[in-house]
Structure 1
Amino acid sequence: MYQPKLEKDIRCPLEYGLDIFGGKWKSRIIRALAAKEVLRYSQLRHEVGNITDAFLAVTLKELQRDEIVLRKSYDEIPPRVEYQLIEKGKFVAPILQSICQWAGAYHKQEVTHTWAHCQKSDYPEKNA
């Protein structure tokens, strides 16, 4: 996993929050798990879409470290591993939904591959 040369300089809760759930993949993983509750690795990869195994594995480890996602492995053959949001992760899901609604109101663009969870958002009018 990538190790930064400098220590993070997080000075406020907003910076902490953006560090935890910011970026392309973390928010998608959180949204997928919020919608489906429990997903196996292959299901999660399918839901997130267009993510490499390396990025998915690293991102899941970071979300586990930050106590957003729980990884549960079963002692079975073939091995079974499931992922789900824990309390901290469930709490952030509505916040991401609000960000999606805000972005939908202010960023109207033709997108060929709109994510299904964002299509469910009701975008308020900017001047309403």
Structure 2
Amino acid sequence: METSCQVDTALEILVGKWKHKILFQLITKDVMRFNELKRAIPGITQKMLTSQLRELEQNDIIERKVYPQIPPKVEYSMTTYGESLKPILDAMHNWGKNHIEHLDNTFPQTQER
């Protein structure tokens, strides 16, 4: 019997300002190059994008494919295992949308969105 909450394990993959934004892009676009990702995520630095992509790759959530050419071409995509996050991210998106509506209906004058 499981004695500890494994939500922490799941959240380690998604927590942070950027990982869910990277995953959203790769889920919706299938395959993206580094600069495409950088342009699609306003405010992320090259260093942060590189760091977050490496962490996601180490957790087998995304795949990095390098083409041996000059200049080098690198593409990122979701792994088959990473695709299993899609229903979770969809559920979180829907919950977030419903939560905003709930707050707007509960506290209509006090909420600024």
Q: Equivalents in 2 of 1:24, 1:93: separation in Å?
A: 18
Alignment pair present for 1:73 and 2:66:
yes
Q: CA deviation at 1:107?
A: 2.0
- Per-residue CA distance 1:19-42 (angstroms, 9 max, x = gap): 012222111111100000000000
Q: CA deviation at 1:98?
A: 1.0
Segments of structure 1 that go 5 or more residues without pairing to the other structure are 1-10, 111-128
Which residue matches 2:90? Answer: 97
Q: Which amino acid aligns with 1:37?
A: D
Which residue matches 1:64? Answer: 57
Q: Equivalents in 1 of 2:15, 2:86: separation in Å?
A: 12
Q: Which amino acid aligns with 2:82?
A: G
Q: CA deviation at 1:61?
A: 0.4
Alignment pair present for 1:29 and 2:22:
yes
- Per-residue CA distance 1:50-100 (angstroms, 9 max, x = gap): 100111000000000011010000001111000000022111022112101
What RMSD in Å do the two structures reach over aligned CA positions?
1.2
Pick the structure with more helix per residue: 2
Aligned length: 100
When Rg is computed on C-alpha atoms for both structures, the one with the higher figure is 2
Q: Which amino acid aligns with 1:24?
A: K
